[in-house]
Structure 1
Amino acid sequence: MTGTMDTSRPVRDEHSVGELVGQATEQLSRLVRQEMALAKMELAEKGKRAGKGGGMLGGAGAFAYAGLLGLAATGAAALALVLPVWAAALIVTAVLFVIAGVLAALGRAQLRRATPPTPEAALGSVRADVEEIRERAHR
C-alpha cells in the first residue's frame, strides 16, 4: 500500500500537561533571566552616568569654592579702600566663619533628625500588624 496513511495509530498533536508545564517553566525561567540581564545592563549604564555626574558636580564644587575665595578677596579689597587692610581682611574672615557656623548648626540639626536610621513609621506599622495577627490567632 503505497501512498496510504496508517490510520491504526492516532497522530498525537497534543502535549501532556506535564510537558506543557515543563515548557512554561522553561520559558518563564528564560524570560526572567533575560529580564535580569537587561536590568543589570541598564543599571550599569545608569551607574556610569551617575559616576560621571558626581564627578562633574565635585568639579563644580571645587570651582565654586575657588569663586568664593575670590569673592572674599574682592570684599576685603573693597573694604580696604575705607579701612586698613588688616581690618578689612578680619571683617571678611569673621563673616565667612559666621556663615560656616550657621551652616554647621543647620547641618547638625538635620543629621540629628535623620538618626537613628530606622524607618520608624514602617516599624510601627509592622508592630501593629503583628499585634493584630496575634489577637486573631488567640480568638
Structure 2
Amino acid sequence: MEHGCGIDELHRYLSAQNRRPIHLIPMPFPERHLFGLWLKLDDFDIIAYEKAASASHKEHIIAHELSHIAFAHRGSVEFDHTDTSQLFTNAEPAAVRSMLMRSRYSDDEEQEAETMASLILARATKRWLEPAWGVPEEAAEIVARIENGVGHPDPS
C-alpha cells in the first residue's frame, strides 16, 4: 500500500487483501463508552460507528476498527450462550459472541489498534468522506439486528 493513503484506500485495500467486503455502517450507540465495533461474519465484515460523532471522530473510529482487522485481532474474553442471550435478543448467539470477543480486546490489542489508527490518520493524504448509501442487501438483516441490539434504529 502506498505511503500516505487515506481511510478509503485502507478500507479498499483490506477488503481486497482479505477477499471480503467491509461494510461501514453509521448507527446510534446509546452506550457512552462505545463508539464503534467490528463484526466478522462468514462472508463479510461490518464496522459500525457512532452516527452522531464528529467527522474527525468517525474517521478515527473507522481507522481504529480497520486496524483491528489489519492485525487480525481476536479479542480476549470468552462468552457462553447464557452470557449473550440477553444482550442482543434478535441476533444469532454465535454472532453476538464473535462481536463481544472483539469488543473486549486485551489492553495490548487496544493500544496497538489505537496507535495504528493515529499513525494512519497522521499520514493520511486526504480526509475520509462519509458516503451516502444504503445498507447492502447482504448485510441488511445483520445490521437490523445490531441496531436493535445496541439502540433504537434511526427512523430516517
TM-score normalised per structure 2: 0.20
The structure where helix makes up a greater share of residues is 1
Q: Which has the larger radius of gyration?
A: 1
TM-score normalised per structure 1: 0.22
Using CA pairs below 8 Å that are at least 6 residues apart, which structure has the higher relative contact order? Answer: 2
